[in-house]
């Protein structure tokens, strides 16, 4: 698409967001031009905090389905739009309610800590949610409890190591983060000696064990901003490079692997954002019955993270 076409779309988006009193939230993994028109760009935790606190009538969620669904749970009076309705998260689909109920029955008294990358139905069966930036805090808020961590096994193992707690894991994973291999990190270190390695905890255990810093997307950005180092090897989805380059002029970033692109995050584009605002569709909704059960786990997470 040419720039003129994009300029027109951006003008329309700006007019529509004013008319509809809408806020546009975007994750760091979104395409660059979508990040650029957002009112707020953040990681999963920051976006859920914004969604819970906004005064807007309409939330346009530029991310994936579970993120918009969390916004609908936290802000039931708002219209929540997901510009691309088929933007899902394969990791969230790796746990379903029936399997979770079975697992809970095998572990009586277990507390279910549920990564926000999960459906509303799964959250409704969970005790507390977490994101990659507050998982350690959430586990520490449950001293002495038997914990089942769902669905991301890599994040679960990272938090178990950090907190020195025995945790039951689920065998879920992010296909995008799974693609970076230990060999990619070792090769990148050889190619860029002295560069710091910053990775997301959704990466495989043998990958985050090689890193200088492990954290959420916001954590990685913060680390790079505050660091005196000038070169970084990045182990997370490629969309983060946009914010890293904006926040750290003069610093150099290398992706640990060329494969780190989440196809679902890249389904959003400016045209779909414009259309969603124009038509107030596609909407993401949650039945009141599920919402009432799911909000407890999300609200507890926000309360612990305040
Ligand atoms: P964070 O936003 O917590 O860094 O998680 C990344 C992710 O995979 C979102 O889908
Ligand atoms: Fe899901 Fe991974 Fe894509 Fe995040 S990056 S939405 S966890 S598939």
3-state secondary structure 102-152: HHHHHCCCCEEEEECCCCHHHHHCCCEEECCCCHHHHHHCCCCCCEEEECE
Instruction: Tell which atom from ligand 1 comes closest to the C-alpha of 117.
Output: 10
Q: State the distance from the centre of ligand 1 to the C-alpha of 43, rounded, in angstroms.
A: 6
Ligand nearest to the CA of 65: 2
Q: Which CATH number fits domain 92-171+290-305: 3.40.50.10800, 3.40.50.300, 3.10.20.440, 1.10.3720.10?
A: 3.40.50.10800
Mean pLDDT value across residues 23-47: 97
Q: Which CATH number fits domain 3-88+265-286: 3.40.50.300, 3.40.50.10800, 3.40.190.170, 3.40.50.360?
A: 3.40.50.10800
pLDDT of 4: 86
Mean pLDDT value across residues 15-30: 98
Whether residue 216 has its Cβ less than 6 Å from ligand 1: yes
* pLDDT higher than threshold 60 for residue 1: no
Distance between CA atoms of 146 and 110, rounded to whole angstroms? Answer: 5
Mean pLDDT value across residues 136-146: 97
| 9 within 8 A of 274, measured Cβ to Cβ | yes
pLDDT in tens, 153-191: 999 999 999 999 999 999 999 999 999 999 999 999 999
* pLDDT higher than threshold 60 for residue 14: yes
Q: Which CATH number fits domain 180-255: 3.40.190.10, 3.90.1170.50, 3.10.560.10, 3.40.50.10800?
A: 3.40.50.10800
- pLDDT confidence of 2, banded at 50, 70, 90? low
Q: State the distance from the centre of ligand 2 to the C-alpha of 133, rounded, in angstroms.
A: 15
Q: In what order do the strands lie in the sheet with 79-81?
A: 40-42, 22-27, 58-62, 79-81
* pLDDT higher than threshold 80 for residue 3: no
- pLDDT confidence of 204, banded at 50, 70, 90? very high
Mean pLDDT value across residues 8-29: 98
């Amino acid at each position: 698409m040419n720039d003129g076409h994009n300029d027109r779309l951006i003008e329309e988006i700006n007019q529509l967001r004013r008319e509809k009193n809408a806020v546009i939230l975007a994750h760091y993994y979104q395409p660059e031009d979508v990040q650029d028109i957002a009112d707020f760009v953040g990681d999963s935790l920051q976006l859920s905090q914004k969604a819970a606190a906004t005064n807007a009538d309409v939330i346009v969620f530029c991310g994936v389905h579970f993120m918009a669904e969390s916004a609908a749970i936290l802000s039931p009076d708002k219209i929540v739009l997901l510009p691309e309705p088929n933007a899902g998260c394969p990791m969230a689909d790796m746990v379903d309610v029936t399997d979770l109920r079975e697992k809970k029955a095998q572990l009586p008294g277990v507390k279910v800590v549920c990564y926000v990358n999960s459906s509303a139905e799964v959250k409704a069966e969970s005790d507390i949610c977490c994101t990659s930036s507050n998982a350690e805090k959430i586990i520490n808020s449950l001293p002495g409890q038997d914990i089942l961590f769902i669905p991301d096994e890599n994040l679960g193992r990272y938090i178990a190591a950090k907190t020195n707690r025995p945790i039951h894991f689920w065998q879920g994973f992010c296909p995008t983060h799974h693609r970076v291999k230990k060999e990619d990190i070792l090769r990148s270190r050889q190619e860029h000696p002295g560069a710091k390695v910053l990775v997301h905890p959704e990466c495989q255990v043998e990958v985050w064990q090689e890193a200088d810093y492990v954290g959420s997307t916001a954590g990685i950005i913060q680390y790079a901003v505050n660091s005196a180092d000038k070169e970084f090897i990045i182990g997370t989805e490629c969309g983060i490079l946009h914010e890293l380059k904006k926040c750290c002029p003069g610093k150099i970033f290398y992706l640990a692997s060329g494969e780190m692109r989440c196809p679902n995050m890249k389904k959003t584009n400016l045209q779909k954002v414009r259309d969603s605002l124009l038509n107030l569709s596609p909407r993401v909704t949650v039945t009141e019955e599920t919402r009432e059960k799911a909000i407890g786990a999300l609200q507890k997470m926000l309360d612990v993270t305040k």
